[in-house]
């Protein structure tokens, strides 16, 4: 009996948060993966794109893709790396289980491929590393915010009309009035957000 050709969903994701600064953009992921699929003669039946963090379950496009695979509309996934599919243990476990059960028959990333008969340790290790990256990022971000507060900075954008003292100028507080928006009279009155907040 001739095996039925695998149909693939292409999934491209980039977070709108800080976690994906070094990851290729969604259009470039799609472009590279389409070249790869052409070289490998893989049949892409639909492309899913999403700009949302994978640190927690609940991505609507990802969930739709998983549902469509369960409905038999595709048997394979093409993505840039496994961390595009999941950075949390729930979604990672879903993908891993579907692959073990041959609901997903093949996952092709830019650098390697995954099959139901593969040793599960490698996939679990990659999903675990993706999850650990998010946990470390959260800890490091909170530490950086605490450090900014201790130094007199607000751990977010300054209020409208004020700017951060980015170069640590000694004659200015951490946050001071934007000279383009405040009049000289207001400056003479000492109307400084930074002075009042951090005095």
172: pLDDT strictly greater than 50: yes
Highest mean pLDDT among 30-39, 50-59, 178-187: 30-39
Whole-structure pTM value: 0.64
**DSSP three-state, residue 11:** strand
Q: What is 50-62 written as a DSSP string? A: E-S--SSS--HHH
148 pLDDT band (50/70/90 cuts)?
low
pLDDT category of residue 78 using cuts at 50, 70 and 90: very high
Q: Are strands 106-108 and 162-164 parallel, antiparallel or unpaired?
A: unpaired
pLDDT (tens digit per residue) in 43-60 = 999 999 999 988 889 999
- Spell out the residues 6+ positions from residue 96 whose beta carbon is closer than 8 angstroms to its own: 120, 123, 124, 127
Q: To which CATH superfamily is domain 7-135 assigned?
A: Resolvase, N-terminal catalytic domain (3.40.50.1390)
Indicate the average pLDDT of the chain. Answer: 80
Residue 175: pLDDT band with limits 50, 70, 90: confident
Comma-separated ranges of CATH 3.40.50.1390 domains in the chain: 7-135
């Amino acid at each position: 009996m001739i095996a039925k050709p695998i149909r693939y969903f292409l999934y491209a994701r980039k977070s709108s948060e800080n976690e994906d600064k070094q990851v290729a953009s969604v259009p470039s992921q799609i472009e590279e993966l389409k070249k790869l699929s052409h070289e490998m003669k893989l049949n892409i039946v639909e492309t899913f794109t999403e700009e949302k963090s994978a640190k927690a379950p609940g991505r609507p496009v990802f969930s739709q893709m998983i549902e469509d695979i369960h409905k038999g509309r595709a048997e394979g996934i093409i993505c840039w790396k496994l961390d595009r599919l999941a950075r949390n243990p729930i979604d990672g476990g879903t993908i891993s289980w579907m692959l073990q059960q041959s609901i997903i028959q093949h996952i092709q990333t830019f650098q390697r491929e995954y099959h139901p008969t593969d040793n599960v340790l490698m996939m679990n290790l990659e999903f675990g590393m993706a999850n650990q990256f998010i946990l470390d990022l959260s800890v490091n971000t909170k530490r950086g915010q605490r450090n900014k507060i201790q130094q007199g900075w607000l751990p977010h954008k300054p209020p409208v009309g004020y700017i951060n003292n980015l170069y640590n100028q000694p004659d200015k507080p951490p946050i001071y009035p934007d000279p383009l928006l405040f009049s000289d009279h207001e400056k003479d009155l000492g109307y400084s957000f930074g002075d009042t907040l951090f005095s």
